[in-house]
Amino acid sequence: MTDAETMVAGERVALLPERALFWPGEGALVIADPHFGKAAAFRALGVPVPEETTRDNLARLDAALARTSARRLIVLGDFLHSKRGRSAEVLDALARWRAAHAALPILLVRGNHDDRAGDPPDEWGIECREEPVECLPFVWRHEPAASESGYVLAGHVHPAVHLRGAGGLSATLPCFYFGREYGLLPAFGNFTGTATVRPRPGEQVYALADGAVLRKA
């Protein structure tokens, strides 16, 4: 795994190939859009999709927490995908994961899917708040929008960047995007779509590829 370090709003942060951002100054691991239960929701509608997405996502989250020794977890919205996705299997896996990390403070900044899916069960001890949440110099949001208080970090968009290489090869990869008014984290869930961003001069984009985070030139 190869991380990338950069400065955002005067703070040093690490961008992780696990699709997470680590803020050492606060010991905070930040993710967006895990969409737990999305595959289960599709299966409930008769769509044949992979069955191990929750397990795989939680394993990746474990790896990021272990590598960073994070002291808290911040989720920028869309923790659960939908009410249909709150299957017994998904909730049981999440409950067991939470029990293994019972001392870890978790903040969920509610997103549009949380409004429909509902908050995680109370016994999981996850603090749920409406956007925006200030933790200066950052402002946590789900949907990106500029703030006069600080620099916004958000999700919702599931950003990706289109790269072209030698020989006409090209690929569209999930990315971190840091614009003038806000930054976007890639969707943490591995069963989500993407939206291509088109950075302007001076903005930073870091693509995720083969276990590494690479800055786009």
CATH value at residue 107? 3.60.21
Percent of the chain with pLDDT over 90: 73
Asked if the model's pLDDT at residue 151 lies above 50, the reply is: yes
Flag whether pLDDT at 11 surpasses 80.
yes
The SS3 of residue 131 is coil
Task: Calculate the dihedral angle through the C-alpha atoms of 119, 144, 93, 192, rounding to the nearest 10 degrees.
Answer: 130
Overall domain count for the chain = 1
Give the integer Cα–Cα distance in Å for 49 and 102: 31
Under the banding of pLDDT at 50, 70 and 90, the label for residue 191 is low
Compute the distance between CA of residue 198 and CA of residue 177 in angstroms, rounded to an integer: 9
Q: What is the pLDDT confidence band of residue 45, given thresholds at 50, 70 and 90?
A: very low
Which residue type does 216 have?
K
> In the predicted model, is pLDDT for residue 68 greater than 70?
yes
pLDDT reported for residue 51: 55
pTM > 0.85: yes or no: yes
Higher-pLDDT residue of 216, 108: 108
Give dist(CA 205, CA 176) in Å, integer: 6
Cβ contact 38:31 at 8 Å: no
Report strand pairing: 106-109 vs 151-154. Answer: unpaired
Question: CA 217 to CA 207: how far, in whole Å?
Answer: 10
Given this model, what pLDDT does residue 17 score?
97
Residue 56 is predicted with a pLDDT of 92
Question: What residues make up the domain containing 21?
Answer: 4-215
Q: Rounded to 5, what percent of the chain is helix, strand, coil?
A: 20, 35, 45
